[in-house]
Amino acid sequence: MRVDPSYSSNLVTALDQSQSNEQQLTAELSSGVSITSLSQNPVASGENVLLLNQIQQDDSFTQSSSLVTSQLQVADSTLGSVVSQLTQAVSLATSANNGTMNSSDVQSVGNQISGILDEVQSLANTSYQGQYIFAGGQTSTLPFTTSTATLPATTTYNGDNDVNYLETPDGQKIQLNVPGSQIFSASGTNSVFAALNNLVADYSGGTVNPSQAVSDTQALGTALNYVSQQRVVVDNSITQLTAASDAVTSQQTQLTTAQTNLMQADVATVSTQLSLSETQQTALEDVISQLDSQSNSLFSKLQ
């Protein structure tokens, strides 16, 4: 049987292939990535897009979550101060209502409660990074303003009842704010500002109408409890955010591991393949050089 006389060109083709294989493996080792083009593993390439998307979404949620946690913590500590101010106001009012104070003491209590009112209003108008945190969606509008044209004075809420939510990657909605109307000027006996304004009016003349003052003090106590309840909503949000953020971080770790396994080169395997490929290349080179060193045909033997 005749053979293909140009068999050495096939050897060169094999050598080219082996070199290209080595180039690929070296690229994998140097970059640490096993898939450098879509066609190497189409399914993994597609999966990689989805995994990276999920990882980045998780990452983005963690960042957002830390931003809003700070804001919620400001809201929480503000409400803490409100509660202590109101507690002080209740205690002042109670002492003024026991009938033992003279006129100037009663007026002094009235002035102190008026001071507390100003302080609570200032707390209710707290802003975080330039945005009012108890204004609902109207974060650029001063939420509470007081008009002293009437007696008792009236405090008006200028925000709205809008509540913002942050959605976790799993779709859980976490409340981000409590509108000021819900905390400070809720209807019925829960309005902080109505109760404070009434007490200031009660004590402004130096004489106390006991039944009115006691009733207004009770209203302030009820409003205080209500503020504490609203604070719980804020605290719950902080807890939920922390939990969600932890869960997302843990999920992110798992996803990153999965993505790493999917895309990163297994150094041991690649090294072995590279070594095999090098051996093959050396062998091919030897064969080719052997063939070259010998004369290729019988002509060399002819005398």
Partner 1 sequence: MGTISSAFDLISGALNADQSALSIVANNVANANTPGYTEETPNWQENDPVQINGVQYGDGVTETGATSLRDTVLSARLDQQQQMASASSARLTALDSVQALFTPDSGSSSSTAGDIGNDLTGFFSSFTSLEAEPTNASLREEVLTSASTLAGDISNAAASLNTQRSALDEEASGVTSQVNALTSSIAQLNQQIQSTSPNADAGTLEDQRQEDLSQLSQLIGINQVKTENNGLSVTTTSGQLLVSENSSFQLTSGSVSGVTHFFVGTADITSQLTSGGGELGGYLTARDQDIPSALSSLDQLAYGISASVNQLNNTGTDMDGNTGTAANLLYIFNEPTQVAGSALAMSVTMTDPNQIAAAGAGLGTGDNSNAVAMAKLASESLMQPIATTAFSVSQNLNASSPSATSSLEVYDTLGNSYNAAVTYTNQGGSTWDYSISVPDVLTANTSVSGSVSYRFGTGETVNQGTNLTITGNLAGGGTGTITAPTVTSGEAVGTAGPPSTGYVAALDAQIAAAGITGVSVSNTGGVLTISGATGTAGSVIADPAASANATGTLTFNASGALVSPAANVAGITFSGLSDGASALNLDWNLYSTGSAGNITETAAASLQSGASQTGTAGVTNGPTPTGFFSNFVSTLGATVSGVQAENTAQNASVTQLQTQNNALSEVNLNDEASAMSTLERSYQAASQVFTMLNTIMESALNLGTETTVS
Which residues in 238-257 contact partner 1 (CB under 8 A)?
256
Q: What angle do CA 162, 168, 169 make, to 5 degrees?
A: 140
Residue 272 binding partner 1, by CB under 8 A = no
Q: What angle do CA 234, 239, 242 make, to 5 degrees?
A: 125
Residues 50-89: x where in contact with partner 1 by CB under 8 A, - otherwise, as a string: xxxx-xxx-xxx-xxx-xx--x------------------
Residue whose entry in the numeric block shows the structure tokens 């062998």:
283
Residue 23 binding partner 1, by CB under 8 A = no
DSSP type of residue 34: S
Exposed, middle or buried by CB within 10 Å (0-12, 13-18, 19+), for 227?
Answer: buried
Cis peptide before 143 (omega within 30 of 0): no
Which residue lies nearer to partner 1 by CB, 49 or 149? 49
Which residue lies nearer to partner 1 by CB, 33 or 151? 33
Q: Give me the least distance between CB of 181 and partner 1, in Å please.
A: 13
Cα–Cα distance between 197 and 145 in angstroms, integer? 12
Which residue lies nearer to partner 1 by CB, 127 or 228? 127
Residue 143 binding partner 1, by CB under 8 A = no
Cα–Cα distance between 235 and 76 in angstroms, integer? 7
Exposed, middle or buried by CB within 10 Å (0-12, 13-18, 19+), for 158?
Answer: middle
Q: Give me the least distance between CB of 177 and partner 1, in Å please.
A: 8
Q: Which of 203, 219, 237, 214 is nearest to 86 (CA)?
A: 219
Q: Give me the least distance between CB of 198 and partner 1, in Å please.
A: 30
Cα–Cα distance between 93 and 11 in angstroms, integer? 103
Which of 100, 149, 150, 301 contacts partner 1 by CB under 8 A?
Answer: 301
**Tokens linked to 295:** 């004369």
Which residue lies nearer to partner 1 by CB, 50 or 283? 50
Residues 155-174 that bind partner 1 (CB under 8 A): 159-160, 162, 164-167
Beta bridge partners of 39: none
Q: Give me the least distance between CB of 249 and partner 1, in Å please.
A: 15
Residue 32 binding partner 1, by CB under 8 A = yes
Residues 82-141 that bind partner 1 (CB under 8 A): 129-132, 135-141
Q: Segment contacting partner 1 (CB under 8 A): 3-11, 99-107, 190-198, 243-251? A: 3-11
Q: Give me the least distance between CB of 114 and partner 1, in Å please.
A: 30
Residues 171-210 that bind partner 1 (CB under 8 A): 176
Which of 48, 108, 154, 281 contacts partner 1 by CB under 8 A?
Answer: 48
Which residue lies nearer to partner 1 by CB, 58 or 202? 58
Residue 21 binding partner 1, by CB under 8 A = no
What sign results for the dihedral spanned by CA atoms 275, 280, 285, 290? positive
Size of the site for partner 1 (CB under 8 A): 73
Name the pairing type of β-strands 131-132 and 127-128: antiparallel
The phi and psi torsions of 294 (rounded to 5 degrees) equal -80, 160
**Taking a C-beta distance cutoff of 8 angstroms, is the pair 72, 89 a contact?**
no
Q: Give me the least distance between CB of 232 and partner 1, in Å please.
A: 22
Residue 152 binding partner 1, by CB under 8 A = no
Which of 263, 270, 277, 284 contacts partner 1 by CB under 8 A?
Answer: 263
The phi and psi torsions of 128 (rounded to 5 degrees) equal -125, 120
